[in-house]
């Protein structure tokens, strides 16, 4: 990622199960599988997204991928690089 350019999500498409394909403003595409992050969490605010109907209710707000008014969201850098999403760490994790 270029440090002189602000990166943000421009498109998000649900693929299947816990996978979402993201497009960023620099046209980079990233397919992210959130399955392990969500299913391995001990945090009830994250575990509720095991419900695929609820998981699919994401939005792009001001360039961020988020669920339920920022109930769940991820750092843009992590989404862009597809890192730190593979697992949740109990009550502490990469999601906001």
Structure-derived torsion over alpha carbons of residues 56, 76, 44, 92, reported in degrees to the nearest 10: 160
Sheet bearing 72-73, strands edge to edge:
58-61, 64-67, 72-73
Give per-residue pLDDT as tens, 14-34.
Answer: 999 999 999 999 999 999 999
- pTM value? 0.84
Highest CATH level, class, for 9-81: alpha beta
**In the predicted model, what is the mean pLDDT of the chain?**
88
If you compute the radius of gyration of the chain from its CA atoms, what whole number of angstroms results? 13
Per-residue pLDDT of the chain (96 residues; tens, 9 = 90+): 555 789 999 999 999 999 999 999 999 999 999 999 999 999 999 999 999 999 999 999 999 999 999 999 999 999 999 998 864 443 333 444
What is the CB neighbour count within 10 angstroms for residue 47?
14
Rounded alpha-carbon distances, angstroms, from residue 56 to 14, 49, 64, 73: 7, 9, 15, 13
Listed by start position, the domains of the chain span 9-81
């Amino acid at each position: 990622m270029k440090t002189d350019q602000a990166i943000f999500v421009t498109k998000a498409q649900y693929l299947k199960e816990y996978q979402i394909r993201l497009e960023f403003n620099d046209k980079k595409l990233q397919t992210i599988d959130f399955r392990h992050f969500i299913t391995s969490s001990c945090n009830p605010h994250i575990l509720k997204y095991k419900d695929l109907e609820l998981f699919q209710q994401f939005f792009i707000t001001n360039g961020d991928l988020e669920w339920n008014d920022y109930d769940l969201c991820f750092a843009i850098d992590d989404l862009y690089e597809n890192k730190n999403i593979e697992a949740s760490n109990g009550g502490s994790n990469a999601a906001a």
